[in-house]
Structure 1
């Protein structure tokens, strides 16, 4: 991972347009190609970002930009859309790179782990004719919570959260991009399942063709309890 602390401004164009005025920020360039701009607030959410697959080029600034104090320009272009992130670097305060290695992935808490188990047993909650392929379906970047097939036999990747937020949608997006490279699985649909899904996460998911499903944990537990009884 490359981490750059710099005074910078940024412009995002494509499906939406956004602008970040000049300020000191942390820019993260991850091994998967993603580029994220962070401020010193706002919790874990970046101010703006580009998800892979994308390419990044470092270019000299135009003469007009030099007059404004721009030292270099990063151009990050998505490979499957017109989305483009341009970062004007005025001053680089720190530029470091670190090899983080393979991450074991997030360890689910009790509720999320139980939700996964319950949904695997009650996979028909996703739709009529759905069948389970397996839980913890392995990929090169971590396991998908549930891999299933719909009534027509199509592949479906399911990401399960207790609270569905934007980072969960991003996680599922990365899984889908990888799984859809496998001709034995493609096309793979995505389902984002959670007890509660934040409005921003729902908008992002639907924009990316990912279906959202709200899970009733208590009702699912009730079905589990009833099925375990003899009388």
Structure 2
């Protein structure tokens, strides 16, 4: 990971247009190619970003940019769209690179882990004819909570949360972009499942063709009532 603290301005051009005026910001370039721009407050989320697959080139400023004090320009181009991110750097305060190694992934809390186990055991909760492929399906960017097939045999990726927010939808979107590049799996659809799904997350998910499912934890537990077993 490359970490840069710099005085910069940022422009995003593509499906939407956004501008960040000149200020001191944290720039992150991750090993997966993503580029994120953070401020020192307001939110844990980046102010702007470019998700992979994308490529970044470090360019010399134009004559007009140089007159304005720009020292270098990061040009980030998405590989599958016309979306572009331009970072005009006026002053670099810090620039370092770090090898973080292989991340072991998120260790889920008890309820979320049990939700995953229960849903995997009762996968038809998602629909009649659903069958389980496996839990924790590993990808290059992390494990998909559940991979399964629908009644028609199509692949479905499931992201599970206790409280479903926009970050969970973004996470599932990244998994779907990657999984759909595999001809043995594509087309892969997505299900965003949680005990509670925030309205903004539901709107974003549905806009991206992701189905939302609200899970009843107690009902799932009741489907496997150990007291009712004969053996």
Q: TM-score, normalised by structure 2?
A: 0.92
Who is 1:199 aligned against?
199
Paired residues for 1:53-64 under 5 Å: 53-64=53-64
Gaps of 5+ in 1: none
Aligned-pair CA distance for 1:230: 4.2
Q: State the partner residue of 1:119.
A: 119
Deviates more, 1:180-189 or 1:23-32: 180-189
Q: Any idea what the Cα deviations from partners look like across 1:56-108, whole Å, max 9, x if unmatched?
A: 11122222222222211111111111221111111111110001111010001
- Pairing of 1:60-209 with structure 2 (within 5 A): 60-209=60-209
| SS of alignment partner, residue 91 of structure 1 | strand
Gaps of 5+ in 2: none
Q: TM-score, normalised by structure 1?
A: 0.92
Q: Which structure 2 residues correspond to residues 2-13 of structure 1 after superposition, within 5 A?
A: 2-13=2-13
State how many pairs are aligned. 230
Deviation of 1:218 after TM superposition, in Å, equals 2.4
- Partner SS for 2:139: coil
- CA distance in structure 1 between the partners assigned to 2:202 and 2:33 by the alignment: 24
Structure-1 residue corresponding to 2:44: 44
Structure 1 stretches of at least 4 aligned residues deviating more than 6 Å after TM superposition? none
Q: What is aligned with 1:32?
A: 32
C-alpha distance in structure 2 between counterparts of 1:16 and 1:172, whole Å: 21
